[in-house]
Structure formats: structure tokens, C-alpha cells
Amino acid sequence: AQTVTQSQPEMSVQEAETVTLSCTYDTSESDYYLFWYKQPPSRQMILVIRQEAYKQQNATENRFSVNFQKAAKSFSLKISDSQLGDAAMYFCAYRNPKAGSARQLTFGSGTQLTVLP
């Protein structure tokens, strides 16, 4: 079974600084998808960034980028120039693209990010 581990329950960063959130996962598959979701206090989960495992290039979305290490099964999120609005719970998620229940998202336990003014 796939598992996703986020070892940092809480992180904090100074506004305008850079922070990296860690995520590791366990799978025997070679083709899969990884995601970072953000859940602000409003509770609405928002997709931040996604990575296809077959792509070697790390995904980037504006101030958000990932460091995808397939061999190490590591998928960290880097937030550059942190803003107060980045404060939220961040969830790492895995999806196996094969049919059936394995296609559904498996989430980590989350990292609560605080941005300090």
C-alpha cells in the first residue's frame, strides 16, 4: 500500500524568506503523480503544484517549486519569498494512475506553516 509521510507537523518562516516542506512516500510503482495541496483557515483545499513521476524536471509554479527525488522517494515543496497569505496547512499527496482504488489520492498528515511578519 502507498503511504505518504510528512515529518514536520509545524514549520515557520519569516516573511520574504524561503521555506522547504518535506514529504516522503512509499510505493512500488514507477509511474505515479505527486501533489501539494494548501488548506488555509477557510478550509478549502487548493492544489498548489503537481509532478508526474516520469518527468525528470522539477515542477514550478511562480514562487512554489518542488525537489523531486524519485530514487529517494522524496517530494519537497519550496516556497520562495514567503507571504502572509501562504500561511496554511500543506498536504502532500500521491496518486497511482492505474485503475481502481489505487488511483485515488493518498494524503500525508500535513504541515502547518506559519508566516511571521
Partner 1 sequence: ETGVTQTPRHLVMGMTNKKSLKCEQHLGHNAMYWYKQSAKKPLELMFVYNFKEQTENNSVPSRFSPECPNSSHLFLHLHTLQPEDSALYLCASSQLAGENEQFFGPGTRLTVL
Q: Which residues of this protein are in contact with partner 1, per CB under 8 A?
A: 4, 9, 33, 35, 37, 42-47, 50, 91, 95, 97, 99, 101, 103-110
CB of 70 to partner 1, least distance (A): 18
Judged by beta carbon, residue 65 or residue 91, the one nearer partner 1 is 91
Nearest to 65 by CA among 6, 14, 20, 4: 20
CB of 84 to partner 1, least distance (A): 20
Judged by beta carbon, residue 57 or residue 117, the one nearer partner 1 is 57
Would strands 10-14 and 111-116 be described as parallel, antiparallel, or unpaired? parallel
Judged by beta carbon, residue 47 or residue 84, the one nearer partner 1 is 47
Do 96 and 2 contact (CB within 8 A), yes or no?
A: yes
CB of 39 to partner 1, least distance (A): 8
Question: 74-102 burial by CB neighbour count: b if 16+ within 10 A, else e?
Answer: ebbbbbeebeeebbbbbbbbbbbeeeeeb
CB of 14 to partner 1, least distance (A): 26
